[in-house]
Structure 1
Amino acid sequence: MSGSGTEELAGRRAAFSLQWQMLAGFLIGLAAGLVAYAVTPGAPWIDAVTRYLTGPIGQIFLRLLFMLVIPLLVSALIVGIAEMGEMRSLRRVGLRTLLYTLIVSGIAVVISLALVNLLQPGSGVDPAQARALLADAGQGAKAILDRGADTPTGMQALIAIVPDNVIAAMADNDILAVMVFALFFGIGLVLVQTKETKLLLDAMEGLFAVTMRLISIVIRLAPIAIACFMFNLAAQFGWDLLLRLSAYVGVVLLALAIQMFGIYSLLIGLPARRSPLRFFAAVQEASVMAFATASSNATLPTAIRVAEEKLHLPRRIARFVLTIGATANQNGTAMFEGITVLFLAQFFHVDLSLGQQLMVMLVCILGGVGTAGVPAGSLPVVAMILAMVGIPPEGIGLVLGVDRLLDMCRTALNVTGDLVAATVISAREEISAVPSPPAPTR
């Protein structure tokens, strides 16, 4: 037991150290790019550095992420859906948990999309500079943009989310179609519970564990990749980049605050019939732990103890909902992903139609189910969505440097949201458990 605790503590320290390394890479790349922009704007040596050094390093980092994102999301979704049906006594709770997650996550993403469209944090960049950056992005980004131009719309887009060949969907990076397949596969594992399907579920869990381990190795390269990304961007955009980043951070924090103190307060006050002030006072320990660790999984033991000892929720419901919620009910992550995608679309002048924005919203909701509850766990999903809608994936370097603060804030929202879900579902279960009065005898 003590050995396991030591390994967990070492893992937290390593993750925290990595976040500071990412921040350092962000600042170093930003400073170097700003100096180059101020001293020798448009110099030939800057083009040579970006073309032969910083550009290829960033491309390799992104390709490693894209290589792993499909197996990660497929295995995570299949295992997450299958585990919801393993406990027969909690089938009703599982259905309510799933329905609650989809509805509240949908509200969260709608708030995010409304704010980012209203406030336009990424607009105002010189289109000529943006086009120049796109021209220097390399063949990989150009191919993504060409593929995004061929994206189906309207009824064809609706039909296209159901893949006729899942292998082809994976090869084409049609992530929404792959997610639909994974959801159906997970439902199939719920409906068919045999010894063979249990082995299949174990294999999916093994695939998830291996993919997570490989992504953790790739993420260690993030500080170097971030420095390269930021040098390329700052050398092109100069001081205007800082203004856009501050606007982006402000919009993310505003969206998280509306969800935390607006939507969650309504859920606690109406369906759960509790005092929002008392609720937030009771869960502050779990919220602070989530903020400090930036990990829903690391905060899970604290959240369970808070639910049982301070909120006095039924043990079977609290443990089920919080365990599922640590992976599936991630409102903050869905909001962050939605805002980031639209911010970068505005920054690079990639026009997304209403249909494409709704598709982004759906992928963010489903991506929340498949996002690992660890620091920087949403990074592969964000990179995947950027590629899917035709936004240069190199732009992810813009947000990685400020991601530490945003990761801490959205994790606090995720964990608080799990406790809200457990409270609401417990209240509904208590109402359902009240026996109906006996019919009057004549």
Structure 2
Amino acid sequence: MDTTKKGGIPFHVLMFLGFFIGLAVGLYVNLYVGAETPWVQTVTSSVTGPIGQLFLGLLFMLVLPLLFSAIVVGVAEMGDLGSLGRVGWKTLALTVVVSSIAVLIGLALVNYFRPGDGVDPALAQSLLAQYADSARGIVENAPERVDLGQFFLDLVPRNVFAAAAENQVLPFMVFAVFFGIGLVLVRSKATDALQQAITGLFEVMMKLLTIVISVAPIAIACLMFNLAALFGWDLLARLAAYVGVAVAAMAIHMFIVYPIFVWVLGGKNPFAFFAQVRDPMVVAFSTASSNATLPVSLRAAETELKLPRKIARFVLTVGATANQNGTALFEGVTVLFLAQFFGVDLSLNQQIVVMLVCILGGIGTAGVPAGSLPVIAMILVMVGVPAEGIGLILGVDRFLDMCRTTLNVTGDLVVATVVSRGEKDPVTAEPEPIAPAV
């Protein structure tokens, strides 16, 4: 994604400006004018509110085709499963396990520290009521009672088109995974053409997402104005707590979970591992893009980690799209934080749904800055949280995006290290010919 605007202003700077301008004006209105003043009500309901709603509506419009195409392409790109055999399935299994651990860490910390608590319930309910109509009917809430048998039955859509029309995201994502597996198992000219067409759909959705995200600074300013005008200084305290919990969860995953996998399953010294992957970690943190970091990761895997070339290329290329465990963690933390902020009590079953959608969403999240926003917006309405609340985190999303992208890229290299243990790549037996200088 292009991170600059006309005049060379970095896009994340515009995001920060939108965030702080909306926050500052909203706080001023809250402190010195009052949220109940007639003209403030008119502005929030007729100007800033609709602009923020339009931005979110565009995200909702793109989310299903984006998720479908990204998941199918991510799974189907494991087309080397026939030749790599166990390597592909080992990669997929590790991706699911590592992402599950990441989401569980995030959910555990949010439930323990509850960074979203402490907001005046009357104000939270006021905002809930304000946006109730926009969220109603978009996605049905998850059931309140835990019925694991019915839950797993509901994962398989009886009618995939009906599931898509009713925005039943989790069954639709399961269908996308199975569709991608089908493309891996059936190889013909027709399926190759179909995969190419779905790849084209993904590229179109990515371009449209880029266009939508380009207006995010204006939408952020409007969303933050509405939220700050209503919540005042409570907003800043809750936001700081949210960032602290999110970074703590990522740090636990980075410096405890990853070293265990590298040491126990990869047979490698964790200190040596982190020293050898420092370059892709720095690039990932600075660009906030897994795709942009991929060439640096490939170089580190081959020259520093000394992994088999073919296996490293396969695992890291797939991982740039499919192994987004840092993003999955971030999505889980964000959804539960906003649920606490707005006083929405999520049942155990709803949190399980959040966890599974985050894991599958990690496969379907674009490896570009702000690529997780559509998934978060959809999960919010799935569990009955006002999607407009996403404006709370957009201003600090750039920093958190840098952190979770670093986690994503490092996780790709961890999986590549574990999968490569005991594997020999015939490609490495003979060095690739070097083209003569022109």
Is 1:341 aligned to residue 324 of structure 2? no
Alignment counterpart, residue 36 of structure 1, candidates 29, 33, 39:
29
- Alignment-mate amino acid for residue 282 of structure 2: V
Q: Which residue of 1 aligns with 2:320?
A: 326
- Encode CA deviations 1:261-305: one digit per residue, 9 max, x unaligned: 000111111111111111111111110000000000000000000
- Give TM-score scaled by structure 2 length: 0.93
Match of 1:225 in 2: 219
Contact preservation (8 Å) 2:143, 2:349: no
Which letter does structure 2 place at the counterpart of 1:102?
V
Structure 2 stretches lacking a partner, 5+ long? 426-438
2:161 to 164, 167, 191: 167
Query: Would the aligned equivalents of 1:25 and 1:226 in 2 still touch at CA under 8 Å?
Result: yes
1:115–1:251 CA contact under 8 A, matched in 2: yes
CA distance in 1, matches of 2:9, 2:175: 35
Q: Assess, with a 3 A threshold, how the Cα gap between structure 1 residues 152 and 221 changes in structure 2: closer, same or farther.
A: farther
Percent identity over the alignment? Answer: 61
Q: Deviations over 1:155-186 (max 9, x none)?
A: 33322221111111111111001001111111
Instruction: Tell me the residue number matched to 2:12.
Output: 19
Deviates further, 19-28 or 78-87: 78-87
Aligned length: 421
Q: 1:262 aligns with which of 253, 256, 260?
A: 256
Confirm whether residue 104 of structure 1 aligns to residue 120 of structure 2: no
Question: Cα deviations across residues 202-256 of structure 1 (Å, max 9, x unaligned)?
Answer: 1100110101101100111111111111111111110010000000000000001
C-alpha distance in 2, partners of 1:91/1:374?
30
Matched, 1:414 2:415: no
The answer to whether the aligner puts 1:371 opposite 2:379 as a matched pair is no
The CA RMSD measured in Å over matched residues stands at 1.7
For residue 87 of structure 1, report the CA deviation from its aligned partner: 5.2
Distance in 1 separating the partners of 2:198 and 2:80 = 15
Residue 137, structure 1, aligned to residue 131, structure 2? yes
Whether 1:306 and 2:300 are equivalent positions in the alignment is yes
Return closer, same or farther for 1:149/1:306 CA change in 2, 3 Å cut-off: closer
Residues 16-56 of structure 1 show CA distances to partners (whole Å, capped at 9, x for unaligned) of 82221111111000001000000011211111111100111
Residue in structure 2 matched with residue 56 of structure 1 by the alignment: 50
For 1:372 and 1:19, how far apart are their aligned partners in 2?
A: 17
Gapped regions of structure 1 (runs ≥ 5): 1-7, 432-442
What is the TM-score of this pair, normalised by structure 1? 0.92
Distance in 1 (alpha carbons) for counterparts of 2:9 and 2:335:
25
In structure 1, the partner of 2:276 is 282
Q: In the alignment, is the contact (CA less than 8 A) between 2:52 and 2:219 conserved in 1?
A: yes
Contact 1:55 1:137 in 2 (8 A): no
Q: How far does residue 91 in structure 1 lie from its aligned partner after superposition?
A: 2.5
Tell me, yes or no, if the aligned pair for 2:381 and 2:387 is still in contact at 8 Å.
yes
Q: Distance in 2 between matches of 1:160 and 1:20?
A: 43
